[in-house]
Amino acid sequence: MKKTITVLLVLLLVFAAGLSASAAGYTVVCSPQYNMAESFESSVTKVSKNSKWALADTNGTAITGYNWEAMGDITSEYIPAKKGGKWGYITPAGAELIPYQYTTAGCFKNGVAMVQKSDGKYAYINIYGDVIFHSPFTYSFSPSEGAICGMINGLYGYSDTEGNIIIHPQFEMAFDFHEGYAAVKFGGKWGFITSYGAYSVKPAYDYASDFKNGYAVCRLNGKYGIIDTAGTRTSSFDFDYIGPPDNSNRYPAKAGTVSGFIHANGEWLLKTQYDFCYQYTDGVARVYKDGKWGYIDETGTELVPPTFADCGEYHNGRAPYSLDGVLWGYLTLNVKPAETTPPAVDTPTPTVTPTPDNTTSPNTDGPTIQNPASDSTRPLTPDRENCISMKIGSKIALKGIDERTLSAPPVLIDGTTMIPVRDVVELLGGSIAWNAENQRINISLNYITISMTVGSKIGYVAGIPTPMQQAPVLLNGSTLVPLRNVVDGLNCELKWIDTQQNIYIYYK
């Protein structure tokens, strides 16, 4: 009898929890049980327990064993997966397609994927694992619009899909081609080139995103705006943040205390009560307020108030969520999409203001650390207000007249300056979230987010894939990340005094 009563009580509690969640605007599909859970961008997704990964169906149920150390994005029927320290490819059911043999493996696109072989060289394979051609670069990305971005001798250029260099390496950093244009960095500034290598927009900006639907987000003098493919400004440059748009050209944006969505001309489509808004996916946007996450629909109606410790994008009727920031499950929402029509675009004229730059590039032959952590020499005194001063090899940092002790000193790895990320970001007034499960670092400062992963040379700035000068590393218990990527991403300025190996970071 007691057992029957206990079972009934458990069922009642589960039913009550379901009613509570439903009343809050969502229905639990899978209760929180995973250490990590990714969004459903296809019919399966990846979930993690105890540092191992499995594939899960749309009910959030694992359909394979936890057999893999890591997985790539699920963008096709050929999923990159790491097992036994090597990468290969599996099916959505978990069956091996291409044996585990690569140091790194990219996603398949149009039947081609980038891999790094055991000899350190990059190659491009077909779905059978056959090498189609070898990359002429020491570091390469996946093909995009018939071109491949790569780096050699510290400079970025492009090859065709047969391994022939078509745009000579000359850029300090470069992105893939999108809609016929690629963002490139030259002389410390970002611009855009065509597939012939000619500038369509001369380098003038402190940051530039990929083009999407004919527009790109740029940053100039600490403020964000939008340009078209001719380089004409379609919005004013007075936003504190503009994120990537959805297919209807709705951009999440922040200006002062106002957060919401704008059109490509900078006019507000929707103003909200939240601290931050993020990109619409499947008619739903994530929102953030007072340290909690929720969801709104396309009209701005609150579907779920900010109650989650964290949550993911809504795809295919599902979203990952976490109530405590530790365990993850899946939910579904009641969504009623609305149609919106962007207004006509106004086109003011851009201006250019240069800033100092100091760029280094990685060596893919394996990290070499110069200036090891042994020096306690004081850095130079900050030369102006809102300045942090550090010195290679020294654990002392100066913020104004205040002296701080870093958990680890800045070091040079293969010529790239690496900094202790938590110490520096907190000195700048930002915050750090560390996910030990996948060794991911999430940085937040002034409405800007940067995501990096230990061992990966691809990070995300405001949700946009961005090449890292050097992969983040764990060194003596501290996480070190590339200085230049943090400074650029957080809209700070950098001054490097080579003779003293001193770093000045200027912040707002």
pLDDT tens digits for range 442-470: 898 877 889 898 888 878 887 776 778 88
pLDDT tens digits for range 284-318: 999 999 999 999 999 999 999 999 999 999 999 99
For residues 91 and 77, the answer to whether their CB atoms sit within 8 Å is: yes
Taking phi over 0 as left and psi of -120 to 50 as alpha, with beta for the rest, 477 belongs to left
Between CA 365 and CA 374, with CA 370 as vertex, the angle to 5 degrees is: 145
Tokens, residue 356: 């100092």
Question: What is the chain's pLDDT, residue by residue, as a tens digit (508 residues)?
Answer: 555 554 444 444 444 444 455 556 899 999 999 999 999 988 899 999 999 999 999 999 999 999 999 999 898 889 999 999 999 999 999 999 999 999 999 998 888 999 999 998 899 999 899 999 999 998 888 889 989 999 999 999 999 988 999 999 999 999 999 999 999 999 999 999 999 899 999 999 999 999 999 999 999 999 999 999 999 999 999 999 999 999 888 999 999 999 999 999 999 999 999 999 999 999 999 999 999 999 999 999 999 999 999 999 999 999 999 999 899 999 999 876 444 444 444 333 333 333 333 333 333 344 555 544 344 577 877 777 788 999 888 888 888 777 888 888 998 887 788 999 999 998 888 888 888 777 889 898 877 889 898 888 878 887 776 778 888 998 878 899 999 888 888 888 888 776 678 888 988 7
Closest CA to 40 of 333, 347, 413: 333
Contacts of 499 (CB under 8 A, 6+ apart): none
Check residue 129 and report its DSSP letter.
Answer: S
Strand 440-445 and strand 448-453: the pairing is: antiparallel
Amino acid, res. 118: S
List C-alpha distances in Å: 428 to 185, 411, 475, 485: 25, 19, 22, 15
Closest CA to 472 of 428, 430, 427, 432: 432
Check residue 298 and report its DSSP letter.
Answer: T
Between CA 318 and CA 463, with CA 465 as vertex, the angle to 5 degrees is: 50
Residue with tokens 């680890």: 408
pTM of the model: 0.68
CA torsion sign, 394 to 400 to 401 to 405? Answer: negative
The neighbour count for residue 75, using CB atoms within 10 Å, is 15
Amino acid, res. 478: S
Check residue 265 and report its DSSP letter.
Answer: T
List C-alpha distances in Å: 70 to 66, 455, 506: 10, 12, 37
- Residue 259: the pLDDT is 95
List C-alpha distances in Å: 194 to 106, 125, 126, 493: 25, 26, 27, 29
Secondary structure of 459-487 in HEC code, one letter for each residue: EEECCEEEECCCCCEEECCEEEEEHHHHH
How many Cα atoms are found within 13 Å in the side-chain-facing hemisphere of 492?
A: 25
